[in-house]
Structure 1
């Protein structure tokens, strides 16, 4: 089976840091798959809050639903490490966009450079929760996602 290969955009729209907790560790002694998905969800909630939005929508704006999720694992992550999660919205379409995540880990006791843990992508579709149907990409998101690349670089 061919592997999925994700290449995130070369810009960052938002970044956050989350610490790996004991409840995030699986029986293999490292960050578990479903726990990483939960941490990506937390980062996505922060991403939307950064733009004064919520996943469920408000103030006449639709919420979002996820159509897909892909993750490329690059290395393990361990208890107490800090995950730096950088996100970039890209590839807008009529009703949504893709959100890319670059996950790096920093070990508190080694002082080494961050190492890549994973690259992920979620396909997000705007959704009207009252009408229970897809909604068009809001104008503010369309403008944010289609601005020139030089404005997006960090």
Structure 2
């Protein structure tokens, strides 16, 4: 996903703020969900998502008007949760990376639930190599 750094993303140090990077992750996540189909953070096929954990590693400063590329993928899919990885680059150079844990959440009942099968199938269809053995795993 392309993104141009706005003034609202800049902090008192003159570079992109911590909060802005988490917003970049959220924007990429929303785009990813839309790419899968009619999914959103509030509806992945009968329940929503809640984010209990986020990690960010800053590799280089990002500045006003920088043209960034934000990548996202599902790294790990479990029964009720999944991990998303994010990568932010400027001109092919890594500026930040991280991941978020996301849990399927029934907002009506206020509790976690299983990932809906339609969502799970959409992820596995979009990322067919996820969970497949690598050359190292098969001895090739």
TM range (shorter): 0.7 to 0.9
**CA–CA distance in 2 between the matches of 1:61 and 1:85?**
28
For CA contacts below 8 A with separation 6 or more, give which structure has more relative contact order: 1
Deviations 1:43-93 (A, max 9, x none): 2111112222010116x5211000200011110111101110111102111
Indicate whether 1:115 and 2:93 are aligned. yes
Contiguous gaps of at least 5 residues in structure 1 = 1-15, 107-113
Residue of structure 1 equivalent to 2:115: 137
Aligned counterparts of 1:138 and 1:57: Cα–Cα separation in 2: 10
Q: Which runs of 4+ in 1 moved over 2 A?
A: 140-151
TM-score by length of 1: 0.75
Matched, 1:17 2:2: yes
Given the two structures, how large is their TM-score scaled by the length of structure 2? Answer: 0.82
Q: Could you tell me which residue of structure 2 aligns to residue 8 of structure 1?
A: none
CA distance in 1, matches of 2:47, 2:128: 21
